[in-house]
Amino acid sequence: MNLAPPLLARYAESLFWMARYLERVENLARLIEVTYIFESPGRESESWYALVRINADEESFSRRHGVADPDAIKRFYLIEADNPTSIPAAIEVARTNARVLRPLISTEMWKQLNQFHHALTAIAPAELEGDALSRLADRIRAGVQAQTGITEGTFFRDQSWHFLELGRLIERADQTTRLLDIKFHLLVPRAREEWRLVELTQWGSVLRAAAGYHAFRRIAPVEFAPADVVAFLLTDASFPRSVRLCLDEIERHLTALRIRYGLGGTRAALERAEEMRALIAGAETERLSAGGLHAFLDNLQHALIGLAGEIGTAFFRDWRPFAPEREQGFQEQRQEQAG
């Protein structure tokens, strides 16, 4: 018997998705920033196209824009709200979920998200040009971080908080695998010495995009190898964006839901998390960084989808692998204007 107030299944679902989409916005901003830094002179199109491949958007992008033009790619992710993988689309979904959650979330959370939404749906084309892009990415990242901070400081920590955190952590782990994967798509020069230097710079930038460069420097050998970076982002127990730490936290939240709120449906998800932990523990980062990393990351991404699926089927009202449709019931609600 617990006296905690009940949580509507639909709210749990919205909390999970709101957090996922916000985290997605932050990470997309990080990816854009790292791509901007990596832009190889003369081969900008190929650099930017890596972003499209990481997000598995090849088909929808070519349907819209045909050839891979850097400006088109930036617009695709930063301005085109009708592209479901764009930042404006993601913030729209996050806000729609927040709107559902207004009875539950703090006023300050809603206010911040509301203002952030207004700002992101009004990105001007000029902000995609030159170094303005870097400032824009920075602003987007800071916006989500403000949201995260306000949530930390104001959101009531009953079971709803655990569902919100689960969404955020699953998305964060997924995005870290994508950030690592960008290395797979990047271009490296052929000449040996030049290759080594470019390679190190690129790994350094991946770390910077993940906000892990300085922490990595503190614990890594002076002459670090690619395997060290891979190990750090996948298995470090203290770095907030490592897959390992995200998994630790996911298990912590699932366990809290099971013990404190008596939600036995967490069992299957906990098993999945354990499987993932074994997968990471067994990863031979040395070998992975020499080849096979892409396939390994793909495996992790699928395992995360499986984990989210177990949470969804156990607790949500109507589990779908994608965000709930925005237009659902729209017509009828317009019609019904009682009072």
* Rounded least distance, CB 336 to other proteins, Å: 5
- Backbone phi and psi for residue 299, each to the nearest 5 degrees, phi listed first: -60, -45
Q: How many CA atoms lie within 13 A of 195 on its CB side?
A: 5
What is the distance between the alpha carbons of residues 61 and 77, in angstroms, rounded to a whole number?
10
Q: Which two tokens stand for residue 169?
A: 């952590």
Angle at 170 between CA 168 and CA 176, to 5 degrees: 100
Number of other residues whose CB lies within 10 A of the CB of residue 192 = 7
First to last CA, the chain: 40
Nearer to other proteins, 282 or 328 (CB): 328
Please tell me whether residue 93 binds other proteins under the rule CB under 8 A.
Answer: no
* Rounded least distance, CB 100 to other proteins, Å: 6
Which residue in the set 27, 47, 86, 96 belongs to the binding site for other proteins (CB under 8 A)? 96
Q: How many residues does the chain have?
A: 339
Does an H or E element contain 203, and which?
A: helix 192-209
Q: What is the dihedral of CA 82, 88, 90, 92, to 10 degrees?
A: -90
Which residue in the set 115, 134, 145, 201 belongs to the binding site for other proteins (CB under 8 A)? 115
Q: Candidates 51-59, 71-79, 100-108, 203-211 — which segment interacts with other proteins by CB under 8 A?
A: 100-108
Please tell me whether residue 337 binds other proteins under the rule CB under 8 A.
Answer: yes
Which residue in the set 132, 262, 292, 306 belongs to the binding site for other proteins (CB under 8 A)? 262
Please tell me whether residue 338 binds other proteins under the rule CB under 8 A.
Answer: yes
Nearer to other proteins, 54 or 100 (CB): 100
Please tell me whether residue 334 binds other proteins under the rule CB under 8 A.
Answer: yes
Which residue in the set 42, 103, 221, 321 belongs to the binding site for other proteins (CB under 8 A)? 103
Positions in the binding site for other proteins (CB under 8 A): 6-12, 96, 99-100, 102-103, 107, 110-111, 114-115, 159, 163, 257, 261-263, 265, 315, 317-318, 329-330, 332-334, 336-339
